[in-house]
Chain A
Amino acid sequence: MSDSPLILQVQGLSKNFGGVKAIDNVDLDIRQGEIVALIGPNGAGKTTFFNCLTGIYSPTSGEIDLSDPRTGKTTRVNGKKPNKITEIGMARTFQNIRLFPTMSVLENVMIGRHCRTKAFIFGAIFRNAATRREEAAIIECSYDILKQVGLHKQVNEQARNLSYGAQRRLEIARALATEPFLLLLDEPAAGMNPKETEELVALIRLICSEGHSILLIEHDMKLVMTLSDRIFVMDYGKKIAQGTPEEVRANPAVIKAYLGEDVDA
C-alpha cells in the first residue's frame, strides 16, 4: 500500500473560532486505495477537520492538496468553494444527516450526478436528444448506486421517511454519485444497530474495492479496528497519534485521551 500514490496531503492545518483552536496544526495523508480512520473524543475537532477539507469552512492556516489518481493532477484546494472540491473528486457525508428530506431517494442520488452532467436552461426547455440521453443516464447510474447500497426498492420514497440506517446509506450513495476518488464519512455507523453496522462494514469494503479511497470518522472502535489500514487520533484539536490499528491501540497518549488521566498514572 505504501507505494501507491498520495491522494490527499494536509499540512499544518489550523482552524480557530474566535479564541478556540478547533484544529491545531494537523498533518494527514492518504494514499490511493486506503481506508483511513480519524478518531478522537467528542469535540476533538474531527468534523471541523472535514469541514475544512471540503471547503465549508476556510482554514485559518495550512495546506490541503488533492491528487486525482486517475489523472495524477494535484490541486491545492484550500480556499476553493465546496462545489469545486467535490468536482475535483472528494465527496462527503454529514454527521447529522443532511439529505434533501422531501425529495425522493432516487432524486437525492440524482443530485449527486449534477456536477458530472451538463444540461442547462436550453436543454431543460427543449429536451433535445442529448438532454434526454443524459437524463436517462443519470437515472440509470443513480439506480445502480442505490442497488449497491441496497435502497433500490425505495426509489420513490421520500428521503425523510427512510429509517435512520437507510438515511446514512443514502448519504453514502449520494456522495458516490459524484464519482469521488476520496470519500469522507462522518460517523457513518452512528445510531445503527449491530446488523446494520455489519452491512455498513461490507459496504465500505465494497466501495473501497471499487477504487475509492476512504477517510472515516467513527466512534465504534470495533469497526475502526477491523476496517482501517491506518488511524489518526485527534484530541483538543491536535493530532496525538497515528499508525496502524495495532500501534494506535498500544499508544499511551491515545489511552489517556480516551480514558482520562487516572489510568495513565
Chain B
Amino acid sequence: MDYFIELLFAGLTRGSIYALIALGYTMVYGIIGLINFAHGEIYMIGAFTSFIVATVLSIYGFPLLAIVVIAGVAAAVWSSAYGFTVEKLAYRPLRKAPRLAPLISAIGMSIFLQNYVLLAQTSDFLPFPELIPEFAFMEPVAHIVGSSDMVILVTTTLVMIGLTCLIKFTKIGKAMRATAQDKTMAVLVGVNVDRVISATFVIGSALAAIGGLLIASHIGQINFYIGFLAGIKAFTAAVLGGIGSIPGAVLGSLVLGLTESFATGYISSDYEDVFAFSLLVLILIFKPTGLLGKAEIQKV
C-alpha cells in the first residue's frame, strides 16, 4: 500500500510538472494554432537561468529563501523574455504563411536554442543546488512523500488557481479567450491580437520556467537537452487532454504522469520513453481531439 501511495504521489508530482509545461503548448495552440516546438527549450532555459542565479547567489552566501525567490523570479522573467522574442522573430512574420512554415521555424528555433545553451554553457550535466529543504513536519511520511513532492504539488496548485483567475477575470484573460474563440471577431470588437499573442507566450513561458525550476531542484541536475524530452511529453499530455483546452492540459498531464509512474513502478522502467511516444502516436491517430478537446471541422 505504501508503495502504491508513493507511486501515486510520484505520478502526481510528475503530472503537475508536465502540466506547467503543457499549459504553454495548449494556450499557444488555442490562440494561433501552432505547435510551439521550441516551448521545451523555453522550459530548459528557465531551468538554466534558475540554476545560474541560484548557484551565484549561494556562492555569495544569500539565505535559502531569498535564493529560491530570486531564482524563481529570474527564471520566469528570462523565460518570458525568450518566449516573447521567439514569437516576434520566428512566428509573427509567418502568421499568414502556410501552416507548416511556422512549425518548421519552431523546430529550427528549438535546435537553435539548444545549441545556443550548449555553446554558451556546457554539454555536461550540472548539479542543481538543493533549494527545497527536508521539512521537519514531513518527517513521519517522508518515506512515502518527499518534501519536494509536496512543494511541487502545492506550488502547481497555486499557480493553476492564479492562472484560472487571470484568464477568467482580467482584461487580458478575456481578450485571450475571445481571440481563441474567433480571431476575426476579436479584432472587430477591438482586441489587440498581437498583444494577446505576446501575452500568451509570456504567460506560457513563465509557467514553463517555474516548472523548470521545480523539476531541476527535484531531480538535482540539468543539461541543455532536458527540454526536448520534457517538451515532447508535455505536448503528449496537452494532446491527450485535448489541445487548446486549459483544463484538458492539466487533466492530460496528470493522467500521463500517473500512468508513467505506475507503469515504471510496477512493470519496467526500460521503456518509459517508448511508452510516452507510443501514447502520443496512438492518441494522435485514434483520438486527435483528446479527452476534452473539441473537434475542428474544416469549412469548405
Q: Do A and B form a real pair? A: yes
- Contacting A at CB under 8 A, from B262-300, are 297, 300
> Which of chain A's residues have a CB closer than 8 A to the CB of B297?
17
Bound complex: CA of A17 vs CA of B297, how far in Å?
9
Bound complex: CA of A43 vs CA of B94, how far in Å?
32
Chain B's closest residue to A17 (CB) is B297
Chain B's closest residue to A56 (CB) is B300
A14 at the interface (CB under 8 A from B): no
Bound complex: CA of A83 vs CA of B300, how far in Å?
16
Bound complex: CA of A56 vs CA of B297, how far in Å?
11
A100 at the interface (CB under 8 A from B): no
Bound complex: CA of A51 vs CA of B297, how far in Å?
13
B181 to chain A, nearest CB (A): 14
A217 to chain B, nearest CB (A): 13
A94 at the interface (CB under 8 A from B): yes
> Which of chain B's residues have a CB closer than 8 A to the CB of A56?
300
> Which of chain B's residues have a CB closer than 8 A to the CB of A57?
300
Bound complex: CA of A17 vs CA of B300, how far in Å?
13
Bound complex: CA of A92 vs CA of B164, how far in Å?
47
Bound complex: CA of A56 vs CA of B300, how far in Å?
8
> Which of chain A's residues have a CB closer than 8 A to the CB of B300?
47, 51, 56-57, 94
B3 to chain A, nearest CB (A): 46
B298 to chain A, nearest CB (A): 9
Chain B's closest residue to A54 (CB) is B300
B99 to chain A, nearest CB (A): 15
> Which of chain B's residues have a CB closer than 8 A to the CB of A47?
300
Bound complex: CA of A51 vs CA of B300, how far in Å?
8
Binary contact track A57-70/B, C-beta < 8 Å → 1, others 0: 10000000000000
Bound complex: CA of A94 vs CA of B297, how far in Å?
17
Bound complex: CA of A57 vs CA of B297, how far in Å?
10
Bound complex: CA of A57 vs CA of B300, how far in Å?
9
Bound complex: CA of A56 vs CA of B298, how far in Å?
10
Chain B's closest residue to A95 (CB) is B300
B130 to chain A, nearest CB (A): 52
Bound complex: CA of A154 vs CA of B61, how far in Å?
77
> Which of chain B's residues have a CB closer than 8 A to the CB of A17?
297
Bound complex: CA of A151 vs CA of B300, how far in Å?
26
Bound complex: CA of A94 vs CA of B300, how far in Å?
8
B237 to chain A, nearest CB (A): 27
Chain A's closest residue to B294 (CB) is A18
B50 to chain A, nearest CB (A): 45
B70 to chain A, nearest CB (A): 50
Binary contact track B161-199/A, C-beta < 8 Å → 1, others 0: 000000000000000000000000000000000000000
A249 to chain B, nearest CB (A): 31
Bound complex: CA of A47 vs CA of B297, how far in Å?
15
> Which of chain B's residues have a CB closer than 8 A to the CB of A51?
300
Bound complex: CA of A147 vs CA of B89, how far in Å?
47
A171 to chain B, nearest CB (A): 14
A96 to chain B, nearest CB (A): 8
Binary contact track A31-66/B, C-beta < 8 Å → 1, others 0: 000000000000000010001000011000000000
A185 to chain B, nearest CB (A): 15
Bound complex: CA of A47 vs CA of B300, how far in Å?
8
A60 to chain B, nearest CB (A): 13
- Contacting A at CB under 8 A, from B101-122, are none
> Which of chain B's residues have a CB closer than 8 A to the CB of A94?
300
Binary contact track A204-236/B, C-beta < 8 Å → 1, others 0: 000000000000000000000000000000000
Chain B's closest residue to A47 (CB) is B300
Bound complex: CA of A17 vs CA of B299, how far in Å?
11
Bound complex: CA of A17 vs CA of B294, how far in Å?
13
Chain B's closest residue to A98 (CB) is B300
A264 to chain B, nearest CB (A): 32
Bound complex: CA of A51 vs CA of B298, how far in Å?
12
A93 to chain B, nearest CB (A): 12
Chain A's closest residue to B298 (CB) is A56
B250 to chain A, nearest CB (A): 25
B184 to chain A, nearest CB (A): 15
A44 to chain B, nearest CB (A): 16
- Contacting A at CB under 8 A, from B69-126, are none
Bound complex: CA of A56 vs CA of B299, how far in Å?
10
Bound complex: CA of A123 vs CA of B297, how far in Å?
37
Chain A's closest residue to B297 (CB) is A17
Binary contact track A88-107/B, C-beta < 8 Å → 1, others 0: 00000010000000000000
A180 to chain B, nearest CB (A): 18
- Contacting A at CB under 8 A, from B230-259, are none
A227 to chain B, nearest CB (A): 25
Top 6 nearest A-B pairs (CB, nearest first) are: A56-B300, A51-B300, A17-B297, A94-B300, A47-B300, A57-B300
6 contacts between A and B (CB under 8 A): A17-B297, A47-B300, A51-B300, A56-B300, A57-B300, A94-B300
Q: Show the binding face of B for A, using Cβ within 8 Å.
A: 297, 300
